[in-house]
């Protein structure tokens, strides 16, 4: 292995990356760029793995040349053509050239062109001085003849591997390779630990340095060794993740939290005040909550269940228990409309005894100030708001319960901020995106999960149909019929994240069309650039029934509950994940009237894409749909960009592709936890020291 000695020889895995520069005080530009991209230590650097490692070919005659493969040959120069190029280099603006060397094979009568673009003219000199030389490079095709661009001349024989690294923050793969080669040999030979040595030995990950070395193609090389190393690395990534998750779960048990109880009578009276009987699943989840609040440790629970299964009711019971114990509750939602809706329903339930208030981005500053001070002095018992709740100006007197609705809409960091506003705060997350069973442990291993499967009785449910060009007319007349019956219609177009202007255009264009289709109906539209007050008033008008057809982008409203709306039409459904479609249609068919969902795809939709949509037509089970989504789109998509949880931090592993290894890592970590729990102590201490538990999810 090649390794240029750096200025010091007492580096370690944890040394800063600047130490790979000759002058660590003034690191090279490339190293600085890597550090800017958060690759701070040698340990971080070695996790940037080659995209590909090619074993270099043996010396061969030209007849063996294959396009897009590497070729190594020996040749003599026949002719060199030199043309000034447009490129100039350096301060002195040195003229650069495009150089073509026609060369003849030493072993046969074959010919080949070697090319350099924007090159220094000394390549010509170099070639003229040698009779015969070897060259190496990747073969491309030009005018149906093979050529090699930028070949390596007289390649060193010991360099028999060609490694291609990715470009990171503007540092090219080639530069990256050179920097990685600067990691001294003695470091590669030092064991590399991410957790205690004991734990690493127990889980057999103590030779991670060797594994990474193989991955970088240092030392012995074979495809088999590489494959084995990769498998090991994947296992290590799962292990590291599972350890974190398990340690967090154990650490929670070390945090004391006040016990919150409620008398049977108060609970019963409260539940009786709902205009309906709770479903069995709702009752079970309430039992979970009672146990959690009484455990003496912070609750970390996620309640998942389809749209309309009644998660709000659960959060209201949770709030009651905390309020009865004179502590504060915060409820965070992703949109102002949803916050307002929750505010109204919480106010109705609680305002006779407690002060319920809201905190929205659109509030006037005087009102906001007043709200903040009442929150700090404890006058407000329960606050409902949007992202504004986790700003640093928000201080609670005694926050004991943080409820986060539609939790998948929030990033992990945002959730943490809200939780850390209290001391040993209980956390209740609610999600309408079912987590497929295969993912539950990976994604929420440190949370307790409650699942609501039953949908309240009396719902007529939602029928779903795909609308194509030939039945579009029929669809429109159906809309007319529903509106004549006094029902309301939602129409959703996909949001185009890159451009809000395009979103508006889409919404406005469609709304114009609908105004033409139905000149006598009240058609309104809603998009991201409306002022919050305007959005609010459109929503209110819709709730009051003054709008027949509401057209909006999908980002606008989540979890909204207007029982009189029975039709949900989704344009370009092919642009949505299946789970999102399922959630969208869940907004209708919640009342006594049946719901209808129309998927109106692009006319040119492919057969596969159409088949994918048919899952929605056929199934009404959120879990089944989530699993189908998973198969179609992989883990990243299911959780979207907001979900910067554990999954995205894997560099080589994928739960789906490496499911066996994932299960093995789980089993191994569980075994250690059961047999040698003391090995977890350093991890737990670290979490507690960093105040990362009770706040970390």
Contact range with ligand ADP by CB under 6 A, out of 271-279, 377-385, 437-445, 493-501: 271-279
Q: Does 564 bind ligand ADP (CB under 6 A)?
A: no
From the list ligand ADP, Mg ion, none, partner contacted by residue 408 (C-beta under 5 to 8 A by kind): none
* Least separation in angstroms between CB 334 and Mg ion: 11
What CA–CA distance (Å, rounded) separates 590 from 568? 12
Q: Which of 440, 499, 457, 469 has the alpha carbon at shortest distance from 655?
A: 440
| Residue whose CB is less far from ligand ADP, 430 or 551 | 430
Work out which of 27, 308, 422, 622 binds ligand ADP, going by CB under 6 A: 308
* Least separation in angstroms between CB 405 and Mg ion: 6
Q: Please return the burial class of 689, using the count of CB atoms within 10 Å of its CB with bins 0-12, 13-18 and 19+.
A: exposed
What CA–CA distance (Å, rounded) separates 582 from 598? 12
* Least separation in angstroms between CB 616 and ligand ADP: 18
Q: Which two tokens stand for residue 603?
A: 């006319």
Query: What residue number has its CB nearest to ligand ADP?
Result: 310
From the list Mg ion, ligand ADP, none, partner contacted by residue 216 (C-beta under 5 to 8 A by kind): none
Contacting residues toward Mg ion, per CB under 5 A: 559
| Residue whose CB is less far from ligand ADP, 305 or 422 | 305
Work out which of 136, 247, 257, 309 binds ligand ADP, going by CB under 6 A: 309
From the list Mg ion, ligand ADP, none, partner contacted by residue 644 (C-beta under 5 to 8 A by kind): none
| Residue whose CB is less far from ligand ADP, 246 or 583 | 583
Q: Does 209 bind ligand ADP (CB under 6 A)?
A: no
Q: Does 307 bind ligand ADP (CB under 6 A)?
A: yes
What CA–CA distance (Å, rounded) separates 7 from 150? 32
* Least separation in angstroms between CB 410 and Mg ion: 14
| Residue whose CB is less far from ligand ADP, 567 or 647 | 567
Q: Which helix (H) or strand (E) holds 188?
A: helix 185-188
Q: Which two tokens stand for residue 165?
A: 């690294």
Taking CB under 6 A as the criterion, which residues in 391-450 touch ligand ADP? Answer: 432
What CA–CA distance (Å, rounded) separates 642 from 570? 23
Q: Does 312 bind ligand ADP (CB under 6 A)?
A: yes
Taking CB under 6 A as the criterion, which residues in 148-207 touch ligand ADP? Answer: none
* Least separation in angstroms between CB 342 and ligand ADP: 9
Q: Which of 92, 217, 234 has the alpha carbon at shortest distance from 161?
A: 217
From the list Mg ion, ligand ADP, none, partner contacted by residue 310 (C-beta under 5 to 8 A by kind): ligand ADP
Q: Does 318 bind ligand ADP (CB under 6 A)?
A: no
Q: Does 115 bind ligand ADP (CB under 6 A)?
A: no
Contact range with ligand ADP by CB under 6 A, out of 66-74, 304-312, 391-399, 573-581: 304-312
* Least separation in angstroms between CB 438 and ligand ADP: 23
| Residue whose CB is less far from ligand ADP, 42 or 435 | 435
Read out DSSP for 259-276?
-----HHHHHHHHHTSSS
What CA–CA distance (Å, rounded) separates 604 from 197? 58
Q: Does 280 bind ligand ADP (CB under 6 A)?
A: no
From the list Mg ion, ligand ADP, none, partner contacted by residue 697 (C-beta under 5 to 8 A by kind): none
Q: Does 316 bind ligand ADP (CB under 6 A)?
A: no
Q: Which of 593, 632, 584 has the alpha carbon at shortest distance from 611?
A: 632
What CA–CA distance (Å, rounded) separates 509 from 493? 11
Contact range with ligand ADP by CB under 6 A, out of 218-226, 309-317, 351-359, 512-520: 309-317
Taking CB under 6 A as the criterion, which residues in 590-619 touch ligand ADP? Answer: 590
Q: Does 310 bind ligand ADP (CB under 6 A)?
A: yes
Q: Torsion angle, CA of 126/127/130/132, rounded to 10 degrees?
A: 140
Read out DSSP for 25-78?
TS--HHHHHHHHTT--BHHHHTTS--SEEEEPPPB--GGG--TTSEEEEEEEEE
| Residue whose CB is less far from ligand ADP, 542 or 571 | 542
Contact range with ligand ADP by CB under 6 A, out of 162-170, 274-282, 360-368, 466-474: 274-282
| Residue whose CB is less far from Mg ion, 39 or 289 | 289
Q: Is residue 691 within 8 Å of residue 665, measured between CB atoms?
A: no
Work out which of 6, 113, 561, 564 binds ligand ADP, going by CB under 6 A: 561
Work out which of 313, 414, 425, 427 binds ligand ADP, going by CB under 6 A: 313
Q: How big is the chain, counted in residues? A: 697
Q: Does 270 bind ligand ADP (CB under 6 A)?
A: no
Read out DSSP for 88-112?
EETTTTEEEEEEEEEEEESSSS-EE
Read out DSSP for 512-575?
HHHHHH-TTS-EEEE-TTS-HHHHHHHHHHHHHT--SEEEEETTS-SS---TTEEEEEEESGGG
Return the ∠ at Cα 415 (arms to 411 and 417), rounded to 5°.
115
**Local structure of 452: helix, strand or coil:** strand
| Residue whose CB is less far from Mg ion, 436 or 559 | 559
Taking CB under 6 A as the criterion, which residues in 453-482 touch ligand ADP? Answer: 456
* Number of residues located near ligand ADP, criterion CB under 6 A: 17
> SS in 3 state form for 632-696?
HHHHHHHHCCCCCCCHHHCCCCCCCCCHHHHHHHHHHHHHHHHHCHHHHHHHHHHHHHCCCCCCC
Return the ∠ at Cα 450 (arms to 449 and 455), rounded to 5°.
145
Angular region, 445: left φ>0, alpha ψ -120 to 50, beta rest: alpha
* Least separation in angstroms between CB 167 and Mg ion: 43
Residue ranges in contact with ligand ADP by CB under 6 A? 276, 278-279, 282, 305, 307-313, 432, 456, 559, 561, 590
């Amino acid at each position: 292995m090649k390794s240029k000695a750096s200025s010091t020889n007492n580096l370690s895995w944890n040394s800063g990356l600047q130490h790979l520069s000759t002058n660590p005080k003034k690191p090279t530009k490339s190293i600085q760029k890597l550090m800017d991209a958060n690759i701070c230590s040698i340990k971080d650097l070695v996790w940037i793995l080659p995209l590909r490692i090619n074993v270099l070919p043996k010396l061969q005659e030209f007849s063996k040349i294959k396009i897009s493969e590497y070729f190594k040959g020996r040749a003599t120069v026949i002719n060199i053509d030199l043309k000034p190029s447009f490129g100039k280099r350096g301060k002195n603006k040195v003229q650069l050239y495009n150089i073509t060397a026609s060369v003849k094979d030493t072993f046969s009568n074959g010919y080949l062109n070697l090319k350099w673009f924007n090159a220094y003219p000394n390549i010509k000199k170099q070639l003229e001085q040698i009779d015969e030389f070897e060259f190496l490079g990747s073969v491309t095709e030009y005018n149906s003849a093979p050529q090699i661009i930028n070949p390596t001349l007289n390649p060193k024989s010991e360099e028999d591997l060609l490694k291609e690294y990715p470009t990171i923050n503007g540092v090219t793969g080639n530069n990256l390779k050179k920097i990685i080669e600067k990691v001294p040999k003695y470091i590669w030979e030092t064991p590399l630990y991410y957790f205690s040595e004991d734990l690493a030995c127990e889980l057999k990950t103590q030779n991670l340095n060797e594994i990474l070395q193989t991955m970088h193609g240092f030392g012995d090389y074979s495809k088999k060794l590489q494959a084995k190393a990769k498998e090991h690395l994947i296992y290590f990534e799962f292990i590291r993740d599972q350890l974190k998750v398990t340690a967090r779960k154990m650490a929670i048990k070390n945090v004391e939290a006040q016990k919150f109880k409620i008398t049977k009578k108060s609970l019963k009276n409260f539940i009786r005040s709902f205009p309906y009987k709770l479903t069995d699943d709702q009752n079970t989840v309430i039992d979970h909550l009672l146990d959690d609040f009484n455990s003496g440790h912070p609750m970390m629970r996620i309640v998942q269940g389809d749209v309309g299964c009644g998660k709000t009711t659960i959060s209201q019971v949770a709030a009651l228990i905390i309020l009865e114990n004179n502590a504060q509750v915060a409820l965070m939602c992703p949109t102002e409309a949803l916050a307002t809706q929750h505010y109204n329903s919480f106010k109705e339930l609680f305002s006779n005894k407690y002060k319920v208030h809201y905190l929205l981005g659109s509030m006037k500053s005087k009102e906001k100030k007043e709200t903040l001070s009442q929150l700090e002095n404890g006058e407000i018992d329960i606050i409902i708001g949007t992202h504004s709740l986790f700003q640093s100006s928000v201080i609670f007197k005694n926050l004991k319960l943080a409820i986060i609705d539609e939790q998948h809409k929030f990033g992990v960091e945002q959730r943490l901020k809200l939780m850390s506003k209290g001391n040993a705060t209980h956390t209740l997350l609610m999600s309408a995106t079912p987590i497929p069973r295969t993912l539950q442990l990976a994604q929420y291993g440190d949370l307790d999960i409650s699942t609501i499967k039953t949908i309240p009785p009396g719902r007529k449910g939602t029928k779903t149909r795909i609308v194509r060009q030939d039945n579009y007319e029929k669809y429109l007349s159906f809309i007319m019929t529903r509106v004549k019956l006094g029902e309301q219609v939602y129409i959703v177009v996909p949001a185009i994240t890159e451009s809000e202007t395009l979103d508006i255009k889409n919404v406005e264009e469609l709304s114009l069309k609908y105004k033409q289709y139905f000149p006598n109906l009240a058609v309104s539209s809603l998009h991201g650039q409306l002022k919050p007050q305007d959005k609010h008033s459109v929503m209110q008008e819709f709730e009051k029934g003054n709008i027949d057809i509401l057209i909006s982008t999908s980002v606008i409203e989540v979890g909204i509950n207007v029982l009189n709306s029975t039709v949900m039409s989704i344009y370009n459904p092919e642009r949505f994940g299946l789970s999102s479609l399922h959630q969208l249609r869940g907004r209708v068919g919640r009342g006594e009237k049946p719901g209808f969902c129309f998927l109106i795809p692009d006319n040119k939709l492919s057969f596969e894409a159409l088949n994918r949509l048919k899952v929605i037509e056929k199934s009404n089970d959120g879990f089944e749909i989530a699993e189908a989504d998973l198969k179609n789109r992989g883990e990243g998509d299911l959780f979207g960009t907001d979900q910067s949880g554990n999954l995205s931090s894997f560099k080589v592993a994928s739960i789906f592709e490496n499911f066996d290894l994932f299960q093995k890592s789980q089993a191994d970590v569980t075994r250690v936890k059961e047999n040698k729990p003391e090995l977890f102590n350093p991890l737990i201490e670290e979490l507690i020291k960093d105040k990362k538990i009770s706040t970390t999810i």
